Amino acid sequence: MLLISFFSNLGDRSIDIKLWRTCDAVDAAVPTYHLYNSECDISLQFPISLESTGPLEALCQVLPLDDLRVLSVNGYHGSWSGSWPAQSWINMFGRCRAVERVDVNHGIAVQFCKALVLPVGCSPTASGAPQTLDQLFLRELRSLTISNLNFSIITGEDNKQFINELMILLRQRADYCQNAIGPSGGSDVEAVDRRLARFSILSCSIGQNQVSDLAEVVQDIVWDNHEGEYGVPAEPNWDVYEDMESDGGASEDEDVGSAGSQADSDSSEGF
């Protein structure tokens, strides 16, 4: 597991990188920040500008990330959506073909989601879409958690709200997974549900209707009932957090927008 955390203090910004060889968080929905103070295999900290990803891109090329399975990136409050362009995500983590879970928060989550439909390791086609599963960014991704983000922020030049753009991106990715030809160029594609297996939304500004819309484009959605700036912010469903910590899954009685499969947590070798 790789955990990247940004800190800002009176304008001075630093980055903290922690890397674990073994990890219990591949399938569990337990927030990865709980691991921050646990003993890790590699730990680095240095000053950095969030708007410049060059140094971090170079570092990611030499870190042992080929077998990375869990990626967690913690921005900071006020980090703007264009901080890490989608291509920077590709440059940093495009070679991480085994990633199954990503946790990302604040504004940097926007460009990460845009990277989910971009090709890696090849020249872009006229359509800009990956043509094989090997070319799909983080092709093994099953679980995505977004936290501390307003889903109604405006993203892109066409003034789309993030919620609307995200639904398009998730549909596109599912279509790419379904229609992409395998690495050998064969034509046999399994008739299985290619939508994202699990999408968790924690401490975000998002309404019930928006969550219901998102539930149509993923297999399983987990929401803590926190609406943020929308209407009456009902008491967050803390049972979500307690259940995730105890068994890595959502409560059977929890209204999370859709019923989906529960993955059992396991201990995994590799970062």
Domain boundary assignment for the chain: 2-269
Eight-class DSSP state of 152:
T
Token representation of residue 87: 């291509």
3 state DSSP class of 103: strand
**What pLDDT sits at residue 51?**
62
**What pLDDT sits at residue 271?**
56
The overall longest dimension of the chain from CA atoms, in Å, is 56
Q: Does the pLDDT at position 61 exceed 50?
A: yes
Residue among 35, 37, 2, 32 nearest 19 (CA): 2
pLDDT tier, 178 (very low <50, low <70, confident <90, very high otherwise): confident
Could you give the CA distance from residue 59 to residue 264 in angstroms, rounded to a whole number? 33
Residues 6+ apart with CB under 8 A from 104: 72, 73, 75, 112, 144, 145, 146, 147
Listing DSSP states for 220-237 in one string gives -EEE----TTSSS-PPP-
Could you give the CA distance from residue 187 to residue 161 in angstroms, rounded to a whole number? 36
**What pLDDT sits at residue 201?**
95
Between 47 and 51, residue with greater pLDDT: 47
For residue 117, report the phi and psi dihedrals to the nearest 5 degrees: -110, 10
Residues 6+ apart with CB under 8 A from 128: 118, 119
**What pLDDT sits at residue 29?**
54
pLDDT tier, 132 (very low <50, low <70, confident <90, very high otherwise): confident
- pLDDT exceeding 90 applies to what percent of the chain? 43
Between 141 and 183, residue with greater pLDDT: 141
Residue among 61, 60, 62 nearest 73 (CA): 60
What percent of the chain is helix, strand and coil (3-state, nearest 5)?
Answer: 25, 25, 55
Residue 158: C-alpha distances to residues 111, 174, 224 (Å): 15, 23, 30
Q: Does the pLDDT at position 68 exceed 80?
A: yes
Between 239 and 265, residue with greater pLDDT: 239
pLDDT tier, 56 (very low <50, low <70, confident <90, very high otherwise): confident
Q: Does the pLDDT at position 177 exceed 90?
A: no
3 state DSSP class of 35: helix
Q: What is the pLDDT of residues 133-153, one digit of tens each?
A: 888 999 999 999 999 999 998
Eight-class DSSP state of 134:
G
Q: What is the pLDDT of residues 223-239, one digit of tens each?
A: 999 998 764 444 545 45
